[in-house]
Amino acid sequence: MNRRKLVLIGNGMAGVGVIEQILKINTGLFDITIVGSEPHPNYNRIQLSYVLEGSKTTDEIVLNDWNWYRENGIKLLTGTTATALDTTAKTVTTDRGDVLPYDALILATGSKPFILPVPGADKEGVVGFRDIADCEAMTEAARTYRKAAVIGGGLLGLEAAKGLSKLGMEVTVVHLMDDLMERQLDPAASGMLRAELERQGLRFAMGKQTKELTGGVRVEGLAFTDGTVLETDFVVMAAGIKPNSALGAAGGLEVNRGIVVDDFMRTSAPDVYAVGECCEHRGVCYGLVAPLFEQGSVLAKHLCGTQTAPYEGTVLATKLKISGVDVFSAGEFMDQPDLTIVKMQDDWRGVYKKVLVRGNRIVGGVLFGDVGQATQLQQWIRSGREMTEDVHAALMGTPAGEESGGGAELLADDDIVCGCNGVTKGTIVEAVRTQGLKTVDEVKACTGACRSCGGCKPLVEQILAGVLGDGYEAGTAAHGICGCTQLGRDEIVAAMRERKLTTTRETMAALNWSNPEGCSKCRPALNYYLTMLWPETYVDEKESRFVNERLHANINKDGTYTVVPRMYGGVSSAEELKRIGDVAVKYNVRAVKMTGGQRIDLMGVRKEDLPKVWEELGMPSGYAYAKALRTVKTCVGSTFCRFGTQDSMGMGQLLEKKFERIDMPAKFKMAVNGCPRNCAESCTKDVGIVGNDGGWEIYIGGNGGIKPRLADLAVKVKTDEELLEITSSLIQFYRETANYLERTSDWVERLGLAYIQNHAITDEANRRELVNRMETALTRAHDPWQKVIGDRQLRQELYEGVNVPVGPPTE
């Protein structure tokens, strides 16, 4: 049977959610192509605020990684925008010239930020807040500018404001209305929210209408209609969104505010469907996640020919995703004459609960400060649950998680626990009982509950406790390295060592992984732990590495790659520079950039040219993509500088050649200074070395990234030999004790400087063992031409022009 061609325009949560449901129903029904304008795989847009504030990385909010598309036979076109729709020929054309025929077409193009139509809105320094690129622009602005203004005091605006504040900016929220989140909160909850955010450092300009953005090329201020002005260096427009319906309109579909759909998500054209923020259902365009998944579930069943109830709309619920502020609202929230109000306000504890009842049926509610009952309250609003003594006690009486069970026991098996993904209480209970699940992460991996906004996590914990009884340990939810196991890093490494586990699959089978194939989080970690434990015998599993590591280049947003050749200690030669220039011209490299690590980036290399580029460069990879040593930054030191007391360039090259290919738990950066003037910025590196008249100082745990940290002085040494030995010992101790992806800055704070000094420096016997294990690993990691003997002759040769062998890339 020939598969039908299904094309999805939009790689976001709504559209890919439909594909996930289709694959569960019938994996062989469609030949699927997905077109996405961003360069990323499917990620959780709800958690962008966590990325902005720095509590999560971009990788951590990915829902379906690159492997998921390959494993399911899905053709993914990233960095690509659909530009034309022909519903007669049944084709979609992209900006790359692709013409994609379809049997069924899903439009999930999402929404765009509403940019105020005022003078100056197009100035530099003005952005929206909808995607990863916006987060990156805001993070970059925080490095340079101090004052930020966020226009919009709704959900999105407050999340952006708090994120910028955490990045160190002075943030003012500008809002047209007198109350924050006035579409979700009553005045009492809004007032408590403002007071809490002011306590956390945000400023507010309420009742202000922006007339103009002032400044030259770049924004310098906001001028309001009341004649006042707010000085600012950066503006985030978060005053609302509008459906991205342009493709549908161009294709002749019926469009009002959004692309008009019926109860089965069908548009006005045959075999064309729309889902998510781009569509309009019964006159409503939704901008929250729960309706998108409800729509997607109906559409997936309809496309697969499975009987389904129609989509009839969604009871809206809102949860503010700001650390330290818990706010929830669903259904009706303003007092009305025909409503009975059940309310509790505790200003001392900062807790406010309000439930609205009509005809003894729950129709709405607002929670502030304690949102443990949010998920069940939303379910009761959706189902019109009758207010009873038990329900009242669950909402207003005993706090969630205590003897009342927080309301979980009041839910029926068919009540929805996770509104984002449509997971019922019965589904979770059955999975816990039949699959032996014991943690929230395992429930998430198995059922999808908690996978999106995470708001249902308290209720899932209550259900786990109810099913497992004494067997439930509340602390285990965050214990495992991922959702596939409840085992932590130390337990896994100990089992590998004691049971002589030698492959990732063997490890997952022996340790009873809930997902026998593992996931994108645990496979790279297991691969690293095995590499670290068995350096002489373990065969690296390339399929368990991230894509950049497999291709030896960093992927760019447009699908091209950046090649970074190694420049030891930031030192090059005329011959190397000529080769780099020749390659850049021959392969039409779009940009040649000097990096902060004293290297040269060749940006915009096509994937098919990567092998030839490396061959013609004749230089080792700089491992700019690897969980390994990236760079050793150096000053010119005593060789050229009149202040230099030590040979920093020679030592930097020596260290870089010695450790360049050894696997680390995370990316690793070093610097060597020839004197305390610190021109190479050793204070913000994982290992920083500073020369002085009496020898060297070794620093550890520095970081110049999103969480800056000055390195700690670990030890002072007198000789080069001591420097090499202790550096080797410190790095090996980090390799053996750090969690996967844990930077040294977090590692030092977790273990403590004194503990590290004692085990890797002071205890000489242990130090020698660490060095020996490092040498064994280096022997396995390095090719013969890369081995460096730690003596002064090599450094003398480097400066006297003797050629040091530099072979081609080894992989």
Taking the C-alpha atoms of residue 354 and residue 465, their distance in angstroms, rounded to an integer, is 27
Q: Name the residue with tokens 């013409």.
A: 99
Task: Please name which of 365, 371, 275, 362 lies closest in space to residue 321, comparing C-alpha atoms.
Answer: 371
**CA neighbor of 658 nearest in space, from 720, 603, 708:** 720
Contacts 24+ apart (CB under 8 A), 88-93: 90/271, 92/7, 92/9, 92/35
Q: For the chain, give percent helix, strand, coil, nearest 5.
A: 35, 25, 40
Which residues are CB-contacts of 138 (< 8 A; sequence separation ≥ 6)?
Answer: 52, 127, 129, 160, 163, 164, 167, 234, 236
Question: Do 60 and 132 meet the contact criterion of CB atoms below 8 Å apart?
Answer: no
- 635 labelled as ligand-binding? yes
DSSP β-bridge partners for residue 670: 632, 687
Cα 78 from Cα 67, distance rounded (Å): 14
Ramachandran angles phi, psi of 676, nearest 5°? -70, 0
- Closest C-alpha among 642, 691, 651, 678 to residue 570: 651
How crowded is residue 658: how many other Cβ atoms within 10 Å of its Cβ? 24
Backbone phi and psi for residue 241, each to the nearest 5 degrees, phi listed first? -130, 165
675 is in an annotated binding site: yes
Q: Comparing C-alpha atoms, which of 667, 612, 663 is closest to residue 808?
A: 612
Residue position matching structure tokens 């729309």: 274
Q: Whole-angstrom Cα distance, residue 135 to residue 384?
A: 39
Find, among 68, 46, 291, the residue nearest to 155 by Cα: 46
Match 């790279």 to its residue by tokens.
524
Structure tokens at 500: 């002589």
Cα gap 655→736, rounded to integer Å:
20
HEC letters along 667-696 = CEEEEEECCCCCCCCHHHCCEEEEEECCEE
Angle at 326 between CA 320 and CA 328, to 5 degrees: 60
Unique residue bearing structure tokens 């943030």: 171
Interatomic CA distance for residues 103 and 379, integer angstroms: 37
Give the integer Cα–Cα distance in Å for 732 and 727.
9
Would you put residue 21 in left (φ > 0), alpha (ψ -120 to 50) or beta? alpha
Nearest to 541 by CA among 533, 550, 552: 550
φ and ψ of 463, to 5 deg: -65, -45
User: At a CB cut-off of 8 Å and minimum separation 6, what does 94 contact?
Assistant: 35, 77, 80, 81, 82, 83, 100
Rounded distance, CA 748 to CA 730, Å? 11
CA atoms of 444 and 452, how far apart (whole Å): 10
The Cα–Cα gap between 378 and 389 comes to: 18
Nearest to 624 by CA among 574, 578, 660, 655: 660
Burial of residue 540 (number of CB atoms within 10 Å: 0-12, 13-18, 19+): middle
Torsion from C-alpha of 678, 683, 688, 693, nearest 10 degrees: 40
Annotated binding site for siroheme: 679
Q: Residue positions in the annotated binding site for [4Fe-4S] cluster?
A: 635, 641, 675, 679
Binding residue positions? 635, 641, 675, 679
